[in-house]
Chain A
Amino acid sequence: MIRTFLTLAFLATWCLVPGAFAAGDAPALEKQQWPFQGLRGSYSKDQLLRGYTVFTNACMACHSIKYVGHRDMMRAGFTEAEVQALAKNLDMSIDQKLLTAQDDQTAIETFGKVPPDLSLINKARAGLADYTFALLMGYSEDPELIHHSFPKGLPEGAHYNKAFPGHAIAMPNPLTGPDLVTYHDGTPATVEQMAKDVTVFLQWTAEPERVERQHMGLYVLIYLVLFTLLAYVTKRAIWKDVKGH
């Protein structure tokens, strides 16, 4: 019975893995190696600041991050003086959240819809961080590509994007070329670098607890393995006098 169960459990996990059978209309995404992944994964303060720079310069004109303010960045290792300075640059208090100045009406007139809040975007799209990165890198003006998906031409106001389901996205390419921003640490601001950094920043806004979680999990798992081993040895000792065991 137990053997049967293990077989079936394996079968079930294999079958029911979400995303193992991606829905047909979503393009396949390239898997990236992210620094926040893995048992010892973490966010680097420099990269977060670079991502923050990209966000405030290239995204915040239209998008908000309504669950995060400058004060919250202290959780990622920024000092109060540092976040005060950053907030001052934007003419904000550190307790204000990162809200766009654009109002909904203007957005609807310009783009036909209100741009989504980006606080949770890396957890709210199939493909997660890989999707955000692929989307930012997915813009193309290649007429052949466009013609392949849209033989009658792109819909009015839409932009071609390889990663976007349906390939016609309302958002214009936010990272049109290199050196859109100047990084505090002198890292060359290539398009790929900016896309990577802002994706990591958005991962942090979606999961500020992630690093604490991953680091703590290791200790809890070590404890549990030890506890289980101890319980097993004790179980063996107690069951020693039962016939047939």
Chain B
Amino acid sequence: MAHTPNHPVENDIRNTYQWLEDRLPIISFLNNSVGSNFMAPRNLSYMWNFGSLAGIALVLQILTGIFLAMHYKPDVHMAFDSIQHIMRDVNWGWLIRNLHMVGASFFFIVVYIHMARGLYYGSYKSPREVLWGLGVVIFLLMMATGFLGYVLPWGQMSYWGATVITNLLSVIPFVGPDIVVWLWGGYAVGDPTLNRFFVLHFVLPFVIIAVVVLHIWALHMHGSNNPKGISLTKQTDYIPFHPYYTIKDIFGLGVYLIPFTFMVFYAPEYLGHTDNNIPANPLVTPAHIVPEWYFLPFYAILRAIPIKELGVLAMFGSILILFVLPWLDKHPVRSARFRPLYRPLYMLFLANFILLGWCGMMPAEGIYVRIAQAATAIYFGFFALLPVLSKYEKAKPVPTSI
């Protein structure tokens, strides 16, 4: 791409494409990235739609978020009122806020499916370890952004969710309590907290974009994995991303937007909590503090362990363990299709993850704690078994070509 002395430069601006290409080769760059010069395996299933769908969901969140930020006020006395101002007074404010609220949930649905697909087809295995790791970074940033965003409406769940989650950090030895005070900018969640959470909620999505760029860069090194999990050698195994996968993604987007839109217009607060329509009150804690649904499995792990420090460790560990997944599972076969043991184990893991989510929603008492403990054990057991499987699992015959 770089200019070499013997490369004639196009100076006739009427030859627009070449003229621009010789100055800023952005069109060929896009073409190589997501256009007709990017070759993708031709056997990708609809499970591969969720990567680009996640990208679209991110853009939609940023777009709606920017317009909401024009009307929102990060001040404990005004935050709740400004949300009502958006819902009642701002032209189409209710639509933009509903898109943002429902969009957050759907973003997580898409990313969870995207991750589950990677887990099933071994997309994290060599040579895609860094690609996977960057994905986990994006997931962590998303969780942080989602948490910060849920605080902004300054309802009861916002306030008490923020209090409970920030207090988790107090388990850090020696400096924990100081860190919590530093995070709050006071001795409880308050005005300084809300103000900085707003700033961070605004900034983090752009950090996510930066990591997404790295994620796509890493993807382009070896291309997409595929349902058979095999490395493709023949040129005929590939088709250009554009138009084949662009149109497939557009169709997928349509399918995605139908339930999404239905929620936006007919059940915008269905996934939220009624307590968040009560202004924050530092004197009264709601009867049941429930985080947003996308945190529930991890929340269940936190509460399953009766020792505070260990619970926090287990919760963070349950996400961080994803970073070392490529080194836990070193089985040479990628796709679960050809792994008779990994496949049922994977199903169990997924079902168990949903069970954990259910536990996170239930009060932390009696039988629910026992179930959550068993589910936590299965969660970590899955990862503990992977090195064993890598050694002893005998795979079915793997095809050499698609």
Contacts and interface: CB of A to CB of B under 8 A. Distances in A.
Any A–B CB pair closer than 8 Å:
yes
Interface of A: 1-2, 4-5, 8, 11-12, 15-16, 18, 21, 23, 25, 39, 67, 72, 116, 119-120, 123-126, 128, 206, 208-209, 213-214, 216-218, 220-221, 224-225, 227-228, 231-232, 234-235, 238-239, 242-244
A213 B88 CA distance: 12
B116 interface: yes
List 6 tightest A-B contacts by C-beta distance, closest first: A217-B265, A228-B254, A124-B277, A231-B251, A209-B94, A123-B277
A224 B46 contact: no
Interface string B36-65: 000000110111000000000000000000
A209 B244 contact: no
B347 A15 contact: no
B351 interface: yes
Contacts of B275: 124
Interface stretch (B16-24, B266-274, B374-382, B384-392): B266-274
Contacts of A21: 361-362
24 contacts: A1-B227, A1-B336, A4-B350, A5-B113, A8-B351, A8-B354, A11-B351, A67-B84, A123-B274, A123-B277, A124-B274, A206-B277, A213-B268, A217-B262, A224-B257, A228-B251, A228-B254, A228-B255, A234-B247, A238-B247, A239-B244, A242-B42, A242-B239, A243-B236
Contacts of B135: none
B293 interface: yes
Contact of B42 (A120, A234, A243): A243
Residue from A1, A12, A15, A16 having most chain B Cβ neighbours under 10 A: A1
Interface string B180-202: 00000000000000000000000
A18 B270 CA distance: 8
Chain A contact residues: helix, strand, loop or mixed: helix
A244 B293 CA distance: 40
A98 to B, nearest CB: 13
Given A8-B351, A238-B244, A242-B239, A225 B258 contact: yes
B265 A213 contact: yes
A214 B116 contact: no
A209 B87 contact: yes
B144 interface: no
Interface string B348-368: 001100110110011100000
Interface string B98-127: 100000000000000100110011000000
A235 B246 CA distance: 9
Contacts of B71: none
Nearest to B272: A18
A2 B293 contact: no
B304 interface: no
Q: Report, as a range, how many residues of chain B touch the other chain.
A: 35 or more
B243 interface: yes
Contacts of B69: none
Contacts of A231: 247, 250-251, 253-254
A67 B89 CA distance: 10
B71 to A, nearest CB: 15
B88 A72 contact: yes
A244 B296 CA distance: 41
A221 B260 CA distance: 10
Nearest to B276: A124
Contacts of B113: 5
Contact of B261 (A214, A221, A239): A221
Contact of B258 (A5, A125, A224, A238): A224
A123 B351 contact: no
A18 B120 contact: no
A209 B361 contact: no
Nearest to B265: A217
B88 A221 contact: no
Residue from B274, B278, B336, B355 having most chain A Cβ neighbours under 10 A: B274
A214 B262 CA distance: 10
Nearest to A226: B254
Contact of B265 (A208, A216, A228): A216
Contacts of A8: 350-351, 354
Contact of B243 (A119, A213, A225, A238): A238
Contact of A11 (B84, B98, B354): B354
A126 B355 CA distance: 23
B215 interface: no
B315 interface: no
Given A15-B354, A124-B274, A214-B266, A4 B347 contact: yes
B107 to A, nearest CB: 16
Nearest to A25: B287
A119 B83 CA distance: 13
Contacts of B330: none
Contacts of A242: 42, 239, 244
B248 interface: yes
Contacts of B244: 238-239, 242
B302 interface: no
Residue from A72, A218, A224, A239 having most chain B Cβ neighbours under 10 A: A224
A18 B274 CA distance: 11
Residue from A2, A11, A23, A120 having most chain B Cβ neighbours under 10 A: A120
Contacts of A23: 287-288, 363
